[in-house]
């Protein structure tokens, strides 16, 4: 995937973080059970942190492109989609079974961090 596309994916994720955060704070309070609001907020928080991390990898990649950085970005993107996406869907629909998808997204996010460590260790100073 070209960097322009990664930058676009990251920018869209950032926009979604702001929209989801505002939606959760203004539209969901008092409308959903507190545990569902908390699940939604967890999705927003994890998406925000991983979007910021993606920005960091993209900035690093601009000056020091290394094999493996694309894998990190891909794992985090998939992790955001499955982890945060399943929490958003569960909170909004009330279907608890969607929570079974959440750990898969979490494993992808962890995999992204491990891939980042491997990429850094393999890079040349």
Task: Give the Cα separation of 58 and 63 in Å (integer).
Answer: 9
Distance of CA 34 to CAs 76, 93, 94, 103, Å? 27, 14, 12, 21
* Predicted local distance difference test score (pLDDT) of residue 2: 84
**Residue written as tokens 């970005």?**
73
* Predicted local distance difference test score (pLDDT) of residue 29: 80
* Predicted model pTM: 0.94
Distance of CA 7 to CAs 28, 51, 91, 109, Å? 30, 10, 28, 18
How high is the mean pLDDT in each 10-residue block of the chain (125 residues)?
Answer: 91 98 90 92 98 97 93 98 97 92 98 97 81
CA-nearest of 80, 79, 72 to 118 is 72
DSSP one-letter string for 45-60: HHHHHHHHHHHHHHHH
């Amino acid at each position: 995937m070209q960097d322009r596309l990664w930058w676009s994916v990251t920018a869209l994720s950032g926009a979604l973080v702001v929209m989801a955060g505002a939606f959760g704070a203004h539209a969901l309070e008092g409308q959903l059970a507190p545990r569902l609001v908390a699940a939604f907020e967890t999705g927003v928080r994890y998406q925000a942190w991983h979007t910021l991390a993606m920005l960091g990898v993209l900035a690093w990649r601009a000056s020091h492109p290394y094999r493996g950085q694309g894998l990190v970005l891909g794992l985090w993107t998939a992790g955001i989609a499955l982890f945060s996406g399943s929490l958003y869907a569960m909170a909004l629909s009330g279907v608890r079974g969607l929570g079974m998808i959440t750990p898969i997204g979490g494993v992808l996010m962890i995999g992204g961090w491990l891939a980042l460590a491997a990429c850094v260790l393999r890079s040349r100073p």
